[in-house]
Structure 1
Amino acid sequence: MSVGYRKNKIIVPISVSLTLLLIGCNDNKASQCQRLIKTVNDGNSLVEINKGTQVATSLKLAKDLQTATKKIEQLNLKDPKLKEYQTQFVKVFTTLSQNIYKAGKALNTAKLAKASTSGRQQIQTARSEIDNALKAAEVAAKQSDVLATQVNRYCSQPE
């Protein structure tokens, strides 16, 4: 399964630039931005590391993305705008996790299909499920990129 649609060109520079800009340990907007971006980057790196992997790895990736989603949910952000971004990232990661899981399960079904008429039908159905799941994951990935741009813009503004 290929998850080559993921473009992570924005998030890594965001993290680096914010890390350089942030000073101090108090829980101000800047430190909250840093925590949100780091946690999101950790989740996004899971996708990058596991691109083009097979069934078992895809299912593990889906589970790892669920864990990343929980970490994003558990961030104790006080800034109202960052809380809004946090909620949106949770939705994105949930969608990614669910659809990578669906694609992995469908790929497994296709791999186990017998060389028969019913097996060919299973493969066709699985292929359709994989395509639909990957399209939904691609939409979520694009939403993530848009959110990352918005977070970068917001976090670059002075307090």
Structure 2
Amino acid sequence: MSVLHKYTVIAPVSLSIALFVTSCNENKVSQCQRLIRVVNAGTSLIDNNKGTQVITSIQLSKDLEFVTKSIKELNLTDPKLKQFQSGFVNIFQNLSQAIAKAGRALGATKTAEASESGREKIQKARTEIDSALTTATNLGKQSDTLVNQMNKYCSQPE
């Protein structure tokens, strides 16, 4: 076994053990901080990619899937924070799907021909994009509400 391969195996195992040990000793404040950090990363992705083109939209959708997975894997123990965690998983998952749908629809408009069927394709895509934007707007409002509730909870003394 090469030295490089040995360290490649040891590093993830060590990191996993360290995360497990620290998660056992965490209090509400540190759990809040971890959840807030991941949610903020997802929100920043969205803010930085507003109004972007098809390829960027598809990549944003994939990035939000990763954020969703990261939120799921936080191993929170506080029951209230678990509720917030579940809410954010739902929001980012649905947002990822809406952005992917809008990106695919936008991509379809770029390949539409100048014909009756092409115009129908564009109209269908426009409807899908509008639907995705409505969904994203509603999810944004849900996220804002959840963030406010979480901030209120996290600022309360233990």
**TM-score, normalization: structure 1?**
0.83
Partner residue in 2 for 1:109: 108
Partner of 2:13: none
Match of 2:42 in 1: 43
CA offset digits 1:61-90 (Å, max 9, x no partner): 000000000000000100000000000000
**Which residue is equivalent to 2:135?**
136
Residue 28 (structure 2) aligns with: 29
Q: Which residue of 2 aligns with 1:69?
A: 68
Q: Relative contact order (alpha carbons < 8 A, sep ≥ 6): 1 or 2 greater?
A: 1
Aligned to 1:59: 58
Secondary structure of the residue aligned to 1:113 is: coil
Q: What is the identity, as a one-letter code, of the residue corresponding to 2:73? A: Q
For the residues of structure 2 that align with 1:139 and 1:111, how far apart are their CA atoms? 27
Residue 124 of structure 1: aligned partner: 123
- 3-state SS of the aligned residue for 2:74? coil
Instruction: Give the gaps of 5 or more residues in structure 2.
Output: 1-24
Cα distance, 1:32 vs structure 2:
0.3
2:69 maps to a residue whose letter is K
Q: Deviations over 1:80-130 (max 9, x none)?
A: 000000000000000100000000000000111001111001000000000
Q: TM-score, normalised by structure 2?
A: 0.84
CA shift for structure 1 position 46 = 0.5
**Which structure: larger Rg?**
2
* Alignment match, 2:11: none
**Which amino acid in 2 is paired with 1:81?**
K
Shift of 1:52: 1.1
Which runs of 4 or more aligned residues in structure 1 lie more than 6 Å from their structure 2 counterparts after TM superposition? none
Aligned residues: 134
- Residue 92 of structure 1 corresponds to which residue in structure 2? 91
Deviations 1:129-152 (A, max 9, x none): 000011011111110000000000
Q: Quick one: percent identity of the two aligned structures?
A: 60
